[in-house]
């Protein structure tokens, strides 16, 4: 079991490492891609060569970032097979489809038209070139759509049933996956966060030009486009973030409890705007206070999660003990089961499957029927059958809590930031406000911090589940030695770090060069 947990930890570490690296580059592709496409559209409308120069400048940075995004992306798809092979069989019937569609629908679109976008300026008509630029960014966004449909399905599995004969989950409703409310929120939340990051990046770089008093036209024009894209982005982020919170409350209440550091639930629960967790609180079972210090807005968490100020938000302790009113998958009001009930049901389900297979081997159809029925009745907690102790069901609260609060505080800041930039650009006053221009520059790392934090909330917050309630990480892995996974972990850490240094180095050089020498 120790060795198993070590493989699980290293496999998780490797997935986290590669996904977080990948997620450094994808948002800039999504955001800068949209901005570049808008700029080229303006160029084609105005025929102003200066717009072309601006477009090509940002496009060159887009290209550098895109390459490393591709490099870090390939491993994610294959890692489901290499390191999560049990998962790949158990739900591959459902999960494989969006991945294949992503490749077919999105990757070829990106790959084909990216080449036209970079090398086609003198080979194809301006209109076809513009179409290629748009198709590239549409391809990138479609890729986000399908991978997020897949991810959302892991957080809220729908449209499938368990087939004991093949020992896997099988799909029966494709549209349930695609139009799952979790997927819809996740897609718009993620893609628009990319627009926010792309805008922050463009504004920050432009601010640096203004500080250096060079490439002023490029800087001002770029800032204007970026600030509008950023504002549209952050509004979408806020709206879908709110939608996501409702989904998390309904489908992953443990994640919500960790996000807000809620141990004891209540009605009229307040939202912690800012807080410092008590480091002495090690478990939901001890009597330590959860916070050393907190600033709370009364009843807001209840309102956001349940849409009523007096709605009940369960804490970690409540989720363990159960006994509070809760809506089930069908939308019926039930009394929440305790974690021990769930673990019991999970173990019954696992045992029933085992007995079913034994009966099947013997050809005992009546025992097969009996066990199949037991399995079906208990399958919704199948994953709990692998859980040894309730402690395993609580994600790392400080990591999730602080990531969540970094994300929402920065999100709020970006909203004000874009409005302020637009206002000052409109009044033609931004150029002279040196301090604000420096803030623009320093907002770039904050943008990255915010987006990575969002990823941590979504993915660490759902631990230990690879598929909510159905399969925990420790049942999902491949059986390779932990030494082997450690080796590849460090190989990825080394190569991605080297490539990141190269990526940043090239982008900084290109920014220093500015737009003139790019043409």
Partner 1 sequence: MELTYEFYQYYWWFLISVLGALLVFLLFVQGGQTLLNTVAKTEEEETLLINSLGRKWELTFTTLVVFGGAFFASFPLFYSTSFGGAYWLWMAILFSFIIQAVSYEYRSKPGNFLGKKTYDTFLKVNGLVGSVLLGVAVGTFFSGSDFVVNKNSITDVGMPVISTWQNGLHGLEALFNLQNLSLGLAVFFLARIQGALYFMNNIDDENIYARSKRQVAVNAIPFVVFFILFLVLVLLGAGHEVNTVTGEISLVPYKYFFNLIEMYWVGIILLVGVVFVLLAILRSIMKKEFRSGIWFSGIGTVLVVLSLFFIAGYNNTAYYPSVADMQSSLTIYNSSSSFFTLEVMSVVSILVPIVVAYIAYTWRIMDKKSITEKEMQSENDKY
Task: Write out the binding residues for partner 1, residues 437-496 only, by CB under 8 A.
Answer: 475, 477-481, 484, 488, 491, 495
Cβ at position 492, least distance to partner 1 in Å = 9
Question: Which one among 9, 170, 294, 317 touches partner 1, defined by CB under 8 A?
Answer: 170
CB closer to partner 1, 44 vs 500:
500
Is 1 or 333 the residue whose CB approaches partner 1 more closely?
Answer: 1
User: Which is closer to partner 1, CB of 29 or CB of 199?
Assistant: 29
Which residues inside 102-131 make contact with partner 1, applying CB under 8 A? 102-105, 107-116, 118-124, 128
Nearest to partner 1 of 96, 322 (CB atom): 96
Residue closer to partner 1 by CB (options 90, 455) is 90
Percentages of the chain per state (helix, strand, coil), in multiples of 5:
75, 5, 20
**Can you tell me which residue has the tokens 């770029």?**
222
Among 50, 167, 327, 340, binds partner 1 (CB under 8 A): 167
Residue 71 or residue 449: which is nearer to partner 1 going by CB?
71
Please report how close the Cβ of residue 434 comes to partner 1 at its closest, in angstroms. 27
Between 136 and 403, CB nearer to partner 1: 136
Please identify, among the stretches 243-251, 321-329, 351-359, 431-439, the one whose residues bind partner 1 according to the rule CB under 8 A: 351-359
Give me the least distance between CB of 22 and partner 1, in Å please: 11
- The C-alpha atoms of residue 471 and residue 468 are separated, in whole angstroms, by 7
3-state secondary structure 94-140: HHHHHHHHHHHHHHHHHHHHHHHHHHCCCCCCHHHHHHHHHHHHHHH
Site for partner 1 in 325-344 (CB under 8 A): none
> For residues 417 and 5, what is the distance between their CA atoms, to the nearest angstrom?
44
The residue from 163, 216, 285, 369 that contacts partner 1 (CB under 8 A) is 163
| Nearest CA-CA partner of 130 in 16, 228, 37 | 37
Q: By the 8 A CB rule, do 57 and 507 touch? A: no
User: Please, which residue, 111 or 416, has the CB nearer to partner 1?
Assistant: 111
Nearest-CA neighbor of 400 among 463, 324, 489?
A: 463
Minimum Å gap between C-beta 118 and partner 1 is 6
Output the smallest distance, CB 72 to partner 1, in A: 8
Check binding of 24 to partner 1 (CB under 8 A).
Answer: no
Q: Which of 299, 326, 510, 515 binds partner 1 (CB under 8 A)?
A: 510
Scanning residues 194 to 253, which ones bind partner 1 (CB under 8 A)? Answer: none
Nearer to partner 1, 116 or 148 (CB): 116
Q: Return phi, psi of residue 307, to 5°.
A: 70, 10
The residue among 427 and 479 lying less far from partner 1, judged by its C-beta, is: 479
Cis peptide before 464 (omega within 30 of 0): yes
Nearer to partner 1, 124 or 424 (CB): 124
Which 8-state DSSP code applies to residue 285?
A: T
Q: Which of residues 51-110 bind partner 1 (CB under 8 A)?
A: 63-64, 66-68, 70-72, 74-75, 77-78, 80-86, 88-90, 92-97, 99-105, 107-110
Among 216, 335, 354, 369, binds partner 1 (CB under 8 A): 354
Residues forming a β-bridge with 471: 467
Cβ 196 vs Cβ 447: under 8 Å: yes
* Binding test (CB under 8 A) with partner 1, winner from 53, 236, 499, 514: 499
Q: Which sign does the torsion angle of CA 162, 167, 172, 175 carry? A: positive
Total residues contacting partner 1 by CB under 8 A comes to 95
Binding residue (CB under 8 A) for partner 1 from 19, 176, 232, 506 = 506
Min dist. Cβ of residue 115 to partner 1 (A): 5
Phi, then psi, of 370 in degrees rounded to 5: -60, -50
| Least Å from the CB of residue 355 to partner 1 | 9
Report which of 387, 491, 408, 487 is spatially closest to residue 454, judged by C-alpha positions: 408
Site string for partner 1, 386-425 (x = CB under 8 A): x---------------------------------------
Taking each helix axis from N to C end, the angle separating 181-211 and 2-46, rounded to the nearest 10 degrees, works out to 60
Q: What is the C-alpha to C-alpha distance for residues 154 and 164, in angstroms, rounded to an integer? A: 20
Q: CB of 206: closest distance to partner 1 in angstroms?
A: 20
**C-beta of 66: minimal distance to partner 1 in Å?**
8
Other CB atoms within 10 A of residue 168 CB? 16
Both tokens of 305, joined, read: 């999660």
SS (H, E, C) 160-181: EEEECCCCEEEECCHHHHHCCH
Tokens of 437: 């221009």
Q: How far is the CB of 209 from partner 1 (least distance, A)?
A: 18
Tally the residues of the chain.
Answer: 519
Helix (H, G, I), strand (E, B) or coil at 276: strand
Nearer to partner 1, 459 or 503 (CB): 503
CB of 272 to partner 1, least distance (A): 37
Residue 249 in tokens: 């409350």
Token pair 């570490």: residue: 13
Q: Which is nearer to partner 1, 164 or 243 (CB)?
A: 164
Q: What distance in Å separates the CA atoms of residue 108 and residue 440, rounded to the nearest whole number?
A: 36
* 3-class DSSP state of 38: helix
């Amino acid at each position: 079991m120790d060795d198993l947990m070590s493989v699980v930890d290293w496999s998780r570490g490797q997935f986290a490492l590669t996904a977080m690296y990948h997620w450094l580059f994808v948002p800039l592709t999504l955001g800068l891609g949209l901005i570049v496409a808008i700029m080229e559209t303006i160029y084609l409308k105005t025929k102003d060569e200066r717009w072309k120069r601006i477009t090509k400048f940002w496009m060159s940075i887009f290209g550098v970032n895109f390459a490393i995004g591709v490099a870090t992306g390939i491993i994610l798809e294959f890692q489901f097979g290499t390191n999560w092979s049990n998962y790949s069989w158990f739900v591959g019937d459902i999960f494989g489809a969006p991945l294949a569609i992503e490749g077919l629908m999105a990757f070829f679109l990106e790959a084909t038209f990216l080449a036209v976008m970079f090398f086609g300026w003198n080979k194809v008509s301006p209109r076809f070139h513009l179409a290629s630029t748009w198709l590239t960014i549409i391809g990138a966004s479609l890729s986000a759509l399908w991978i997020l449909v897949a991810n959302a399905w892991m957080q809220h599995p729908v449209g499938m049933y368990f087939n004991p004969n093949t020992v896997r989950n099988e799909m029966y409703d494709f549209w349930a996956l695609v139009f799952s409310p979790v997927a819809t929120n996740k897609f718009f939340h993620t893609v628009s966060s990319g627009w926010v990051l792309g805008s922050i990046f463009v504004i920050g770089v432009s601010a640096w030009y203004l500080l250096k008093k060079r490439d002023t036209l490029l800087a001002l024009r770029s800032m204007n486009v970026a600030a509008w894209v950023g504002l549209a982005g952050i509004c979408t982020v806020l709206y879908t973030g709110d939608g996501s919170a409702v989904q998390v409350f309904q489908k992953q209440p443990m994640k919500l409890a960790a996000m807000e550091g809620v141990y004891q639930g209540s009605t009229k629960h307040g939202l912690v705007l800012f807080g410092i967790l008590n480091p002495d609180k090690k478990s939901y079972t001890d009597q330590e206070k959860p916070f050393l210090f907190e600033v709370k807005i009364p009843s807001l968490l209840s309102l956001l999660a349940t849409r009523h100020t007096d709605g009940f938000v369960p804490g970690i302790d409540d989720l363990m003990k159960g006994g509070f009113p809760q809506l089930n998958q069908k939308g019926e009001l039930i009394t929440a089961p305790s974690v021990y009930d769930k673990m019991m049901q999970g173990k019954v389900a696992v045992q029933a499957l085992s007995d079913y297979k034994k009966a099947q081997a013997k050809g005992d159809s009546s025992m097969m029927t009996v066990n199949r029925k037991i399995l079906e009745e208990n399958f919704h907690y199948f994953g709990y059958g692998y859980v040894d102790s309730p402690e395993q069901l609580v994600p790392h609260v400080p990591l999730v809590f602080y990531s969540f609060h970094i994300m929402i505080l920065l999100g709020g800041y970006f909203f004000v930031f874009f409005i302020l930039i637009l206002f000052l650009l409109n009044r033609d006053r931004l150029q002279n406000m040196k301090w604000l221009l420096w803030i623009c520059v320093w907002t770039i790392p904050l943008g990255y911090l915010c987006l990575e934090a969002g990823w941590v909330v979504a993915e660490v917050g759902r631990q230990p589940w690879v598929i909510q309630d159905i399969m925990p990480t420790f049942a999902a892995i491949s059986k390779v030695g932990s030494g082997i996974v450690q080796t590849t972990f460090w190989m990825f850490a080394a190569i991605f770090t080297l490539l990141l240094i190269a990526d940043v180095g090239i982008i900084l050089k290109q920014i220093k060069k500015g737009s003139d020498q790019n043409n």
